[in-house]
Chain A
Amino acid sequence: RKEVEQDPGPFNVPEGATVAFNCTYSNSASQSFFWYRQDCRKEPKLLMSVYSSGNEDGRFTAQLNRASQYISLLIRDSKLSDSATYLCVVNPQGAGNKLTFGGGTRVLVKP
């Protein structure tokens, strides 16, 4: 089993709709969680950190479910510019600063 798993998609989303997807992780002692965004042929960039209590940044909401070992990302009122690959990133306990990346979930927002 991969340490961090994501549905590769693509998730085809009508503009203005809501889309949500999950990421599962295998190390129950993982401590830090992040969502990164990667545009086609570009470098990944931090979208948001994921906190235990869940957190929101504009149209984006991230949640952590430790019991079931997954994090989620929800995008409301999808924009064409939200089309990208969303990478789930986990910092396992004891790994220091090493981060483990999921394979990414591709989201395509269409008019």
Chain B
Amino acid sequence: NAGVTQTPKFQVLKTGQSMTLQCAQDMNHEYMSWYRQDPGMGLRLIHYSVGAGITDQGEVPNGYNVSRSTTEDFPLRLLSAAPSQTSVYFCASKTGLQTGELFFGEGSRLTVL
């Protein structure tokens, strides 16, 4: 069972470079989201989507873009990487039910030099 698949697992960027973190889920979940996790800060919501064609900002959206052209895919784009974006990024998805379980990808460790 694939669940939520994130790529790449590790990435090193130089300041100013751009890149896209890929996320795909095969559970037909309506809701998809991106979090970043930093020591002492917990998981913070970057962007989320409640369905194809619909995206919205979370708590820390600056410096990131998303799109949701299909139900399955929710890529996260870093437009011009900064050292402050060094973090572990998690993609997660769930059904539309408020009580539904949030399923996470394995995470992507990004270092910006």
* Chain B positions within 8 Å of A41 at CB level: 107
Among A52-60, A64-72, A93-101, the one that faces the other chain is A93-101
Once A and B bind, how many residue pairs between them come within 8 Å at the CB atom? 51
Q: A97-B31, A98-B48 are in contact. Are A44 and B98 (CB under 8 A)?
A: no
- Number of B residues near A (Cβ < 8 Å) is 24
- A32 contacts B99, CB within 8 Å? yes
Report B87-109 residues with CB < 8 Å from chain A CB: 90, 94, 96, 98-102, 104-107
**What is the CB-to-nearest-CB distance from A24 to chain B, in angstroms, rounded to a whole number?**
14
- A43 contacts B106, CB within 8 Å? yes
- Number of A residues near B (Cβ < 8 Å) is 24
Q: A43-B104, A46-B102 are in contact. Are A97 and B42 (CB under 8 A)?
A: no
- B43 contacts A101, CB within 8 Å? yes
Q: Which of A43, A46, A97, A103 has most chain B Cβ within 10 Å?
A: A97
Q: A32-B98, A102-B42 are in contact. Are A97 and B50 (CB under 8 A)?
A: yes
- A98 contacts B58, CB within 8 Å? yes
- B105 contacts A43, CB within 8 Å? yes
**What is the CB-to-nearest-CB distance from A45 to chain B, in angstroms, rounded to a whole number?**
7
Q: 23 interchain pairs (CB within 8 A)? A: A4-B42, A31-B98, A32-B99, A42-B107, A43-B90, A43-B106, A44-B90, A44-B104, A45-B104, A89-B102, A91-B98, A96-B50, A97-B48, A97-B94, A97-B98, A97-B100, A98-B48, A99-B45, A101-B35, A101-B44, A102-B42, A103-B42, A104-B42
Chain A interface residues (CB < 8 Å from chain B): 4, 8, 31-32, 36, 41-46, 49, 87, 89, 91, 96-104
Chain B interface residues (CB < 8 Å from chain A): 31, 33, 35, 40-45, 48, 50, 58, 90, 94, 96, 98-102, 104-107
